Amino acid sequence: MEHKAVSSGAALLSALVFALVAFVHFTSRRNTASGPTPPSLHDPIPFVFNTVQFVFNNEKFMKRATKALERSPVVRFWMGTTPVYLFGGPKHYQAIFASRDLTYNGIMLQIGFPKLWRMTREEIQRFANDKSGHKETPLPGTEHVPPQQRYWATKYHVLYDFLSRKHHIKPIVDEFARQFSRDVVEKFPLGQWTTLSIDELTRRDFTRCAITTLFGPKILELNPDFLDAFWYFDSYASVLVYGFPRWMYPQPFRASDRFLDRIEKYVEAGLKDFDWNGPDVDAQWEPHFGTRITRELTKWLTDAGFQRKSVAGALGTLVFGQNSNTIPVVSWMLMELNKDPQLLSAVRAEVADAFVTDPLTGARTLDTQKVAALPLLQSLFTEILRLRVSMVIMRVADRPMTINGVDVPRGALVHAYSRIAQTDEATWGSPEHPADQFWPERHIKYVEERDPETGTLRKRREFAMAASPACFFPFGGGVPMCPGRHFAKNEIFTMVAILVDRFEMEFVRWTNPDGSPSDRPAESDQRFSGIGSLPPDRDMIVRWKRIR
Ligand code: HEM
């Protein structure tokens, strides 16, 4: 496993610079708020300590934030020179996701575009100048903006239509199921036991299959070390996103350069070889770009004159969104199944109904829509997302505003933390199953019904989230909610269903990152706290036998 490298010298230097900048900024800033100011999160070195801890030791920061939110539903702290209002509780989460004055666009302008999409100032300014909104119809007063300058609307259309709409997603998921089945058949000889670690399988084979499905095979053919470059980048993602400028701390940017250089190569080849007037122009999948989302994103940004690096940055963010989050979730699901043979056989029995056997050829295929509705699998998935996803949801206040009586000045950041909401004891806990423990049936309700054939009473499982959905936001919420969430669920369910259906599995042992035996099971790797799914910090060795 890669490690997040943190240079203490860079952190210290950054801290001093921040202190100076924050002091100057703070003393010249007027707070426009008129109501009572929420309590501050203790900051032993004003403007510096919280910022540095948030970036470099987010787990500890989260623990302090959790304690502070137990005393007050909102607390304030500084991220460098910007005030942050951190909210807790369902009422506040709902207000944040529903607010029109709290924007995700501001986060893209400050962080997403410069750090991930790697846009130039001029390119970011184009988005900043566009006030016409994200909808198809421009906001009142902006009807004059030419369609090609409606950057937010185009971004929204490309990402959300091609990643979220059922008719675009279904063929991608079916393609993924086809490739995944083929890959496991090729890798594992029928009837033979093979010993392999979950980490090796998920971060190599499954990631390769996921990337080939979304981006087509060329990206890996042109770059044999693409997976290494991606996981190396992933290990630096949080410090890149929340961290410091390149001159202060260059390693995350170098990791990003290495990753994006490879995507640029793929973009160049695709633009050269794909026939933009040919029969594949509307295809849901073709071998140059893979899916439509990748092709449309490339075409939009290229036609609009964005530099190649920004095109690569947009695609790289998609690779990151796809794998950095789904791969740890699959790993956790496989680990839980291998830890608990009873759970494994219950899931196996449930999944069997989602396979269809062709009476003529005997071919067994997965009904990807049916599998997505299975109650136990949904409960298992929800429980993993609840416990293993740690997202900092961030919005910018576009104007001075009030959230449930709390004044928030213009330009302030508003934060909500998925992990705090999703592990709250009062919300999720039950006497036998505290909120911080994994319980695969937490989101199951048993319904009694009469068997139509035998007339006997039987219990049927139904999926029912254990608490208010307002306290569950692994995919964020409101307009910018993750566009890949349906794809993620389908992709993960497909992998798990095919594996439990085709394989016998046996737990062998836990291992440390260096391969030596571990004396404890995996826990969440908190180095990824605040940035997405938390991967397991230990690996599991499993014996696999393909039975069909
Ligand atoms: C378990 C899996 C996943 C989790 C937990 C997750 C979570 C999130 C979250 C929390 C956000 C920000 C939403 C907000 O601020 O309200 C986000 C954005 C995003 N996600 Fe996901 N995601 C997952 C899978 C995926 C997949 C599979 C893809 C693509 C195939 C994807 C693509 C994206 C993109 C492109 C954005 C940024 C959207 C924008 O710029 O407007 N995600 N995701």
pLDDT, tens only, 510-542 = 999 999 999 999 999 999 999 999 999 999 999
> How remote is the CA of residue 325 from the centroid of ligand 1, in Å?
8
- Other residues' Cβ atoms within 10 Å of the Cβ of residue 241: 19
Residues 6+ apart with CB under 8 A from 516: none
Q: Whole-model pTM?
A: 0.92
Atom of ligand 1 nearest to the CA of 532: 5
In this prediction, residue 2 has a pLDDT band, given cuts at 50, 70 and 90, of very low
pLDDT-based confidence at 5, cuts 50/70/90?
A: very low
User: Quick one: how far is CA 115 from the chain centroid?
Assistant: 17
For ligand 1, atom 35: residue with the closest CA: 318
Residues 230, 259 contacting (CB under 8 angstroms): yes
Residue position matching structure tokens 């969430």: 485
Q: How far is the CA of 483 from the centre of ligand 1 (A)?
A: 6
Task: Report how far residue 131's alpha carbon sits from residue 142's, in angstroms, rounded to the nearest whole number.
Answer: 7
C-alpha pair distances (Å), 16 with each of 49, 65, 206: 10, 23, 43
Distance 324 CA to ligand 1 centre (A): 10
* CA-closest residue to ligand 1 atom 11: 482
Q: Is the pLDDT of residue 449 over 50?
A: yes
Pocket test for ligand 1, best of 475, 487, 490 (most atoms within 8 A of CB): 475
Give the separation between CA 46 and CA 24, rounded to whole angstroms.
13
Closest residue by CA, ligand 1 atom 36: 482
* Residue 22 pLDDT grade (very low, low, confident, very high; cuts 50, 70, 90): very low
Lowest mean pLDDT among 3-12, 340-349, 508-517: 3-12
The rounded Å distance from CA 159 to ligand 1 centre is 10
| Residues flanking ligand 1, CB < 6 Å | 104, 159, 163, 317-318, 321-322, 325-326, 329, 389, 391, 393, 474-477, 480-484, 487-488, 532-533
Give the Å distance between the CA of 7 and the centre of ligand 1.
29
Q: Is the pLDDT of residue 198 over 80?
A: yes
Confidence at residue 17, expressed as pLDDT on a 0 to 100 scale: 53
* CA 476 to ligand 1 centroid distance, Å: 8
End-to-end CA distance of the chain: 32
pLDDT confidence of residue 8: 44
> Distance between CA 429 and CA 431 in Å, rounded?
7
Residue 500 clears pLDDT 90, i.e. is over it: yes
Mean pLDDT of 440-453: 93
Question: How close is the Cα of 294 to the center of ligand 1, in Å?
Answer: 15
Pocket test residue of 394, 482, 534 for ligand 1, highest count of atoms within 8 A of CB: 482
Taking a C-beta distance cutoff of 8 angstroms, is the pair 153, 133 a contact?
A: yes
The region of weakest confidence among 34-38, 80-84, 421-425, 537-541 is: 34-38
Q: What is the torsion angle, in degrees rounded to the nearest 10, for the CA atoms of residue 222, residue 224, residue 227 and residue 229? A: -80
| pLDDT for residue 356 | 92
**Quick one: pLDDT band at residue 363, thresholds 50, 70, 90?**
confident
Domain boundaries, the chain: 165-396+399-412+421-509
pLDDT for 244 equals: 81
Task: Using the mean position of ligand 1's atoms as its centre, give its distance from the Cα of residue 204 in Å.
Answer: 21
Q: Write down the residue that tokens 């259906």 correspond to.
A: 501
Strand partners, 444: 463
Protein residue whose Cα sits closest to atom 6 of ligand 1: 475
* Per-residue pLDDT tens over the stretch 456-483: 998 999 999 999 999 999 999 999 999 9
Residue 280: both structure tokens together: 């594949």
Phi and psi of 463, rounded to 5°? -80, 130
Ligand 1 atom index nearest CA of 477? 16
Q: How high is the mean pLDDT of the chain?
A: 92
For residues 82 and 411, the answer to whether their CB atoms sit within 8 Å is yes
Nearest residue by C-alpha to atom 43 in ligand 1: 482
State what percent of residues in the chain have pLDDT above 90: 84
Q: Which residues pair with 75 in a beta bridge?
A: 86
CATH of domain 165-396+399-412+421-509: 1.10.630.10
CA of 317 to the centre of ligand 1 (A): 9
> For residue 509, is pLDDT > 90?
yes
The ligand 1 atom at the shortest distance from the C-alpha of residue 214 is: 30
Residue 482 annotated as part of some ligand binding site: yes
Helix (H/G/I), strand (E/B), else coil: 121 = helix
Dump pLDDT digits (tens) for 230-266. Answer: 999 999 998 898 878 889 889 999 999 999 999 999 9
Assembly ipTM: 0.99
Q: Confidence class of residue 35 from pLDDT cuts 50, 70 and 90? A: low
Atom of ligand 1 nearest to the CA of 389: 5
SS (H, E, C) 268-314: HHHHHHCCCCCHHHHCCEECCCEEHHHHHHHHHHHHCCCCHHHHHHH
What's the pLDDT tens digit per position in 126-170? 999 999 999 999 999 999 999 999 999 999 999 999 999 989 999
**Closest ligand 1 atom to Cα of 323:** 27
Q: What is the mean pLDDT of residues 191-214?
A: 96
**Exposed (0-12), middle (13-18) or buried (19+): which is 17, by Cβ within 10 Å?**
middle
| Mean pLDDT calculated for residue range 59-64 | 94
Ligand 1 atom nearest to 112, measured from its CA? 40
Ligand 1 nearest-atom number relative to CA 394:
15
* Residue keyed to tokens 């490339």: 298
